[in-house]
A = this chain, B = another copy of it.
Amino acid sequence: MKGWEDIRAEVLRRIRVRDWQPGGLIPTEEELAVEFGVARATVNRALRDLAEAGVLERRRKAGTRVAALPVRKATLDIPVIRQEIEARGQAHSFQVLKQAFMEPPVPIASRLGLPPGIKLLYLETLHLADGKPFAFETRWLNSEILPRPMPDFQELSANEWLVSHVAYVTGDIAFTAEGAGPREAAVLGVAVGTALFITERMTWTAESPITFVRLAHGSGYRVQTLV
């Protein structure tokens, strides 16, 4: 019996061998269901998957076309750092290196949409994998809007406390590469200028910013996913 993955593979084959041309209309779901001898829902599942992957373009009434220049999409998991380290079979630990109420630099306040002069909780945390530096976390927390009691983040990292206690509505994430500055180099135990993989995240509730966090990962860090 044919599953939707079989239909998807056959559709991809036809696109690859140019039976179906880029930009061209493909047969309707009904026609394909009859041709393949499967339920229309099975065809629908396959075409939906390929549309989500950017290979097909579906328009109500106008039918389904082969995308002329498909934009593929990749889905990334954003795990809690402890889980990420444990998934590698390593033990997670962390040290809070700094904790203070401070005014954030203007670019960070402005990215969080906060007026200048407002004080936030600033935290520096070093995450270790099997006792070796894994990531240096610098975080600004809009402590006013957070649930009480707030822990001191010595037992539970701010990363994990936020993920488990503060559901957020929107957020963004960015990845860059940067050479290690003196502070990052010292904390991570690498030479100044070493290429670091940087993750920056911001999250908001429906009304307010929650946090801005920057993670500087040591050498060899890799974000990987299927597409």
Contact = CB atoms under 8 A, between A and B. Distances in A.
Interface of A: 8-9, 12-13, 15-18, 22, 54-55, 68-80, 83, 147, 160, 163-179, 193-198, 201, 203, 205-206, 217, 220-227
Contacts of A75: 73-76
A68 B197 contact: no
Nearest to A82: B69
Contact of A16 (B167, B171, B193): B167
A224 B12 contact: no
16 contacts: A12-B206, A13-B206, A16-B167, A54-B77, A69-B83, A70-B167, A71-B80, A72-B171, A73-B76, A171-B226, A173-B224, A173-B227, A177-B195, A177-B197, A179-B194, A194-B195
A172 B69 contact: no
Nearest to A20: B167
Contacts of A197: 175-177
A224 B172 CA distance: 7
State the oligomeric state as a number of copies: 2
A173 B225 CA distance: 6
Given A9-B206, A164-B22, A172-B225, A193 B193 contact: yes
A164 B74 contact: no
A17 B206 contact: no
Nearest to A216: B177
Contact of A71 (B17, B70, B77, B203): B77
A17 B195 contact: no
Contacts of A217: 177
A174 B224 contact: yes
A136 B12 CA distance: 29
